[in-house]
Amino acid sequence: MTEQPSTSPDASRTEAPRHLFRTIVPPIILPVFLAAADGTVVATALPAIAASLGEVELLSWIVVANLIASTIAAPAYGKLADLFGRRRMMLAALSIFMLASLLCAVSPTFGFLLAARVLQGLGAGGLMTLAQALVGEHVPPRERGNYQGYLSANIVAGSTIGPVAGGFLTEAWGWHAVFLAYVPLGLIAIGLVLRLPKGTQAGGRVSLDVTGMVLLSLFIVPLLMAVSQLQRLDPTMLPRMGGLLGFAAITLAALLWQQKRATSPLLALPLLKLPAFWRSDVMAFCSGASLTGMITFLPIYLQVVTGATPAESGILLIPLTAAVASGSVITGWLISRTGRTAIFPMVGLMVTAVTMIGLGIWAPALTRQELSWVLAIGGLCQGSAMLTAQITVQIVTGPRQLGAAAASVQLSRSLGSAFGAATAGAVLFGILTANDPEIANLFFDMVRRGPAILETLPALRQIELQAAIASAFRGVFLTVACFSCTIIVMAATMPVRRL
C-alpha cells in the first residue's frame, strides 16, 4: 500500500497564504512602483528637457501638472472600480499610463509634452488607488497588514530609486529614455494583472459624475497653486495667493453642494461622517506632509551645511528611506499577527516626534552620518500611519466601497505631500528672510538651480549661509514633529482599533 501525501489542515493553512501571496503581490507591486517612481524620476531629467525644448520658466509644470492630474483622477478611479471591477480599471489605468509615456517620449514641443504629462497623470492616479483596493478585495482582513506593508515599502522604494534611475537614463540615452522605460514595465504589469481573479463588481449603468470632476479640478488646481507659493512668502504674492484660495473655497462649497444632490456622486461624502474614516484621512494627509516636507529639502541641507556631494547626499538619505520601508513591513506583520491597528502609529509616531524635536534642538551639532541615522530612527515608525489609515478605511467601508475608500486616502496623501513641501519651504524662507533677506534669495536660487552656486560665493559668505540654513532647518524638523503629533492624536482617538 503506497503512502498518500499529507493533506493535513496545517499544510493547507500554510499553502493558502503562499498561493495568495503569489497571486496578489506581483500584479500590484509593479503598478505601485511605477506610480511612486513617476513622481520623482522625471525631476532629474528636467534640465535636459529644458535644454531640448526650452520654456525654462514653465519647467516645474512638467511635475506639477502630472501631480494635479493624478490627484484629480484618484476619486474617479475609485468610483469606477466599485462599479466595474478593480482589475478591469487597473488594466485601463496601465493602458492610459503607457500610451501617455510613449507620447511623452516623442514630444516635439514643450506644450505637447505638458499635455502628455497630464494624460500620464490621469493614468498614474489609478495605479496606487486600485492597488490598495485590490488588496482589500482579495486579502482577508487579518492578512491585510502584511500586504499593505509590502505596498508601503514599495512606494518608498519607487520614490527613492526614481531620481537615481532618471539621472542614469538621462545621462546614458537622453530624457526621452526616461519615458520609454515605462513601456516594457507597463507591459509586464498588464500581463501580471491579467492573472488576477476578476473579483466582484456592482455593475449597472455608466454614470460618471462629470460635473463633480470639473468642480474637483477647479478646487484642486488653484489650491495647489496657492500652496506652492507658500514655499517663498512674498508680500507681493499675497493678493494672488488670496485670490486663488478664495476661488478654491468657492468651488469647494459648490462641490459639496453638488455632491449631496448628485445621483452618482464622485466623492463618498457620507463616509466622512464616520469618525474612523475622517481620522484615517487626516493621518494620511499628515503622513504625506511630514515625509515629503523632509525629503524635499534635506538634500540641500546635507550639501550646503554638511558639505556632502550630491552623490553622498543620496547615500545619506538611504537609511531614512530604508527605515521607512522596513518599518512599514514590520508594522504590517505586527498588525496581521496581533489584529491591533491604531496602537502602532500612536506609539511609533511618538518616537518620530521625539527624534524630530531632538533634531530641532541639536541638528547643527551633529555630523552628517549622525544626522542620517537619527533620521532613520524616526523614519522606522513613519510608515505606520499610512498603513493603518488604509487598513482602517477598508474595515469601516466594507467590500462594496473599497475603491472609494482607497481613493479618499490617496487624495488625502497627495494633498498632504503638496502641503508638506510648501509648509517646509515657507518655514525655511520665513526664518531666513527674517534674519537676512539676501541669504533667503541665495537659498531660493539653490532650490531652483542646485547648491553648486555656493562655490561662487566668498568663503566668509559661505560660512554665514551654512550657519543660517542650519539654524533655519530647526523649524523644518519642528514642523514635521507637529505633523507627527497630529497623527498621534488621531490614532489615540481612533474608534476602530482592531481588525
Domain count of the fold of the chain: 3
> What pLDDT sits at residue 231?
62
Write down the residue that cell numbers 518608498 correspond to: 156
Q: Quick check: is 2 in a domain?
A: no
Question: Which of 183, 206, 229 lies at the terminal end of a domain, its last residue?
Answer: 206
**154 and 242 in a common domain:** no
pLDDT category, 162, cuts 50, 70, 90? confident
Question: Which of 247, 263, 279 lies at the terminal end of a domain, its last residue?
Answer: 263
Q: Quick check: is 483 in a domain?
A: yes
> What pLDDT sits at residue 450?
63
> What pLDDT sits at residue 311?
67
pLDDT digits (tens, 9 = 90+) for 390-414: 889 888 887 777 777 888 888 888 8
**225 and 148 in a common domain:** no
Q: How far apart are CA 318 and CA 143, in angstroms?
A: 29
**196 and 248 in a common domain:** no
Res 13 pLDDT > 70: no
> What pLDDT sits at residue 204?
52
CATH, residue 276: 1.20.1250.20
**314 and 255 in a common domain:** no
Looking at this protein, which amino acid is placed at residue 355? T
pLDDT digits (tens, 9 = 90+) for 427-468: 888 888 888 888 877 777 776 666 667 777 787 887 888 888
**257 and 170 in a common domain:** no
> What pLDDT sits at residue 205?
56
**399 and 337 in a common domain:** yes
Cβ atoms of residues 134 and 403 within 8 Å: no
C-alpha cell at 110: 514643450
What is the DSSP secondary structure assignment for residue 317, as one 8-state letter?
Answer: T
**Mean of the per-residue pLDDT values of the chain:** 81
**355 and 220 in a common domain:** no
**388 and 272 in a common domain:** yes
What percentage of residues in the chain have a pLDDT greater than 70? 89
pLDDT category, 353, cuts 50, 70, 90? very high
Beta bridge partners of 498: 340
Which one has a higher pLDDT value, 201 or 368?
Answer: 368
pLDDT category, 1, cuts 50, 70, 90? very low
Q: Quick check: is 4 in a domain?
A: no
pLDDT digits (tens, 9 = 90+) for 194-252: 888 776 555 555 567 788 888 888 888 888 778 777 666 667 777 888 898 999 999 99
> What pLDDT sits at residue 201?
56
> What pLDDT sits at residue 142?
75
pLDDT category, 10, cuts 50, 70, 90? very low
pLDDT digits (tens, 9 = 90+) for 253-277: 999 999 888 887 878 788 888 999 9
**173 and 220 in a common domain:** no
Containing structural domain, residue 160: 12-206
CA 453-457-461 angle, to 5 degrees, is 125
- Does the pTM exceed 0.85? no
Q: How far apart are CA 304 and CA 472, in angstroms?
A: 13
Whose CA is closest to 369, among 318, 300, 293, 296? 318
- What is the rounded average pLDDT of the residues 77-89? 84
Report the SS3 class of residue 82: helix
Q: Quick check: is 316 in a domain?
A: yes
What percentage of residues in the chain have a pLDDT greater than 90? 18
Q: Quick check: is 6 in a domain?
A: no
Q: Quick check: is 353 in a domain?
A: yes
Q: Quick check: is 1 in a domain?
A: no
Give residue 435's region: left, alpha or beta (phi > 0; psi -120 to 50).
alpha
Whose CA is closest to 133, among 147, 119, 123, 146? 147
> What pLDDT sits at residue 5?
41
Q: How far apart are CA 247 and CA 227, in angstroms?
A: 13
59-73, 157-171, 196-210: the lowest-pLDDT one: 196-210
Question: Which of 171, 191, 206 lies at the terminal end of a domain, its last residue?
Answer: 206
Helix residue spans in 139-181 (DSSP H):
144-173, 176-180
pLDDT digits (tens, 9 = 90+) for 107-148: 888 889 889 998 998 898 888 888 888 888 888 877 777 777
Res 164 pLDDT > 50: yes
pLDDT digits (tens, 9 = 90+) for 301-333: 887 788 777 667 777 878 888 888 888 888 888
C-alpha cell at 368: 552628517
**69 and 84 in a common domain:** yes
**240 and 138 in a common domain:** no
What is the DSSP secondary structure assignment for residue 266, as one 8-state letter?
Answer: S
pLDDT category, 152, cuts 50, 70, 90? confident
Res 488 pLDDT > 90: yes
Q: How far apart are CA 485 and CA 286, in angstroms?
A: 9
Whose CA is closest to 316, among 243, 260, 373, 275? 373
**482 and 360 in a common domain:** yes
Q: Quick check: is 230 in a domain?
A: yes
Whose CA is closest to 59, among 46, 48, 41? 46
